[in-house]
Amino acid sequence: MIVEMRKGAVKESVDAVVERAGSFGFDVQLNFGTDKTVIAVLGSNTGQAPTDAFAVLPEVESVTRIMRPYKLAAREFKPENSRVSIGGVEVGGDRVVVMAGPCAVESEEQLMTAAKAVKAAGASVLRGGAFKPRTSPFSFQGLERAGLDLLAKARDELGMPVITEVVDSQAVEMVAASVDVLQVGSRNMQNFSLLTQVGRNHLPVVLKRGYSCTVTEWLTAADYVLAEGNDQVILCERGIRTFEDSTRFSMDISSLPVIKKASHLPILVDPSHAAGHYSLVPALALAAIAAGADGLLIEVHPNPKEALVDGLQSLTPSDFTRLMEELRAIAEAVGRSL
């Protein structure tokens, strides 16, 4: 249930709603918006409480039942767009934020070369996987702890925030100590204990879409993080599985306007994992910006032919530099900067 207070409602009136929710045994989350306060009343059986129990309270403007399973990620709860700050880089504002780097951290030289190249081309966040959730147990699993140390080193040397994936709920604290953003991968979108743990952490979270999950399931997964008190959630569309096999996954470009309507959360697009081939990445990246993406997550490798993971879909530094110029033009055309 969503309780919307009147503009300028006093604290006592908000407290009265919180108290009434407590009397039913419900939890609440408050959004002190610029315009008005909105209160989400949360519980497994809010459907049994009459809306009038809240509607009669002073300065309550409206009480709405949300029938969809997600509440905190919903625009009804937070009408204004959320902005997430990653070490001073804002995601969800006018500027389109580009995060780029190798799929996996492979060596100091590989990471530093990639990091310097993507920074010079205008990327503002460095990506790199230290723990790789591979479909096969025999594939390269990442440098793990050593990879985290290299990411922390790159961050310190280049003054660039770093994003990496965390695959295990027990490792959240350890990973968080070395990076600026925690990535929850497609294969873990419904790993609820992992979502809860990243929700208890203070770092921003990029939540990738499960490749066989609906938008509703994705936003409900985001609620697991938000419910723990971490409101720094960024979604990332990375393509879904369909019958089409000419690309690695099918880029669901329509999820962008759908999410913008349904949710206040910022959204990135990862064209690399959707495309599966470097030659297709630029078109998908350009389309994403045109369709309203708040940023991009792109794989760039100094020498894709030698990459241990995802070389075929990785851009070279020079391809990436060229793409950044093209992206700038599209960003400007849709009233944004890059």
Residue nearest to ligand PEP (CB): 185
310 near Mn ion, judged by CB under 5 A: yes
Facing residues of 165 across strands?
A: 183
206 near Mn ion, judged by CB under 5 A: no
What does the alpha-carbon distance between residue 292 and residue 295 come to, in Å, rounded to a whole number? Answer: 9
What does the alpha-carbon distance between residue 41 and residue 38 come to, in Å, rounded to a whole number? Answer: 10
Least distance to ligand PEP from the beta carbon of 214, Å?
16
Burial code (b: 16+ CB inside 10 Å, e: under 16) for 86-95 equals bbebebbbeb
Query: Under rule CB under 6 A, which residues in 33-92 are in contact with ligand PEP?
Result: none
Residue 97: what are its φ and ψ, rounded to 5°?
Answer: -100, 130
Q: Give the one residue of 186, 197, 230, 263 binding ligand PEP; rule: CB under 6 A.
A: 186
The partner in contact with residue 165, picked from ligand PEP, Mn ion, none with C-beta cut-offs of 5 to 8 angstroms by kind, is ligand PEP
Q: Residues 17, 4: contact at Cβ < 8 Å?
A: no
Q: How far apart are the first and last CA of the chain?
A: 38
Nearer residue to ligand PEP within complex by CB, 78 or 273? 273
Choose the binding region for ligand PEP from 73-81, 179-187, 223-231, 254-262 (rule: CB under 6 A).
179-187
Instruction: Provide the CA 245 distance to its chain's centre, in angstroms.
Output: 26
What does the alpha-carbon distance between residue 71 and residue 279 come to, in Å, rounded to a whole number? Answer: 39
What does the alpha-carbon distance between residue 50 and residue 85 come to, in Å, rounded to a whole number? Answer: 38
The type of residue at 261 is K
301 near ligand PEP, judged by CB under 6 A: no
237 near ligand PEP, judged by CB under 6 A: no
DSSP helix, strand, coil percent of the chain (3-state; round to 5) = 40, 20, 40
Nearer residue to ligand PEP within complex by CB, 36 or 241? 241
Q: Residues 112, 157: contact at Cβ < 8 Å?
A: yes
Q: Give the one residue of 165, 180, 237, 252 binding ligand PEP; rule: CB under 6 A.
A: 165
270 near Mn ion, judged by CB under 5 A: no
208 near ligand PEP, judged by CB under 6 A: yes
Choose the binding region for Mn ion from 94-102, 166-174, 207-215, 304-312 (rule: CB under 5 A).
304-312
What does the alpha-carbon distance between residue 208 and residue 267 come to, in Å, rounded to a whole number? Answer: 10
Size of the site for ligand PEP (CB under 6 A): 10
The partner in contact with residue 223, picked from ligand PEP, Mn ion, none with C-beta cut-offs of 5 to 8 angstroms by kind, is none
Residue 335: what are its φ and ψ, rounded to 5°?
Answer: 80, 25
Query: Under rule CB under 5 A, which residues in 71-110 are in contact with Mn ion?
Result: 103
Q: Give the one residue of 74, 103, 267, 323 binding ligand PEP; rule: CB under 6 A.
A: 103
Binding site for ligand PEP (CB under 6 A): 103, 129, 165, 185-187, 208, 238, 270, 273
Q: Which residues bind Mn ion (CB under 5 A)?
A: 103, 310
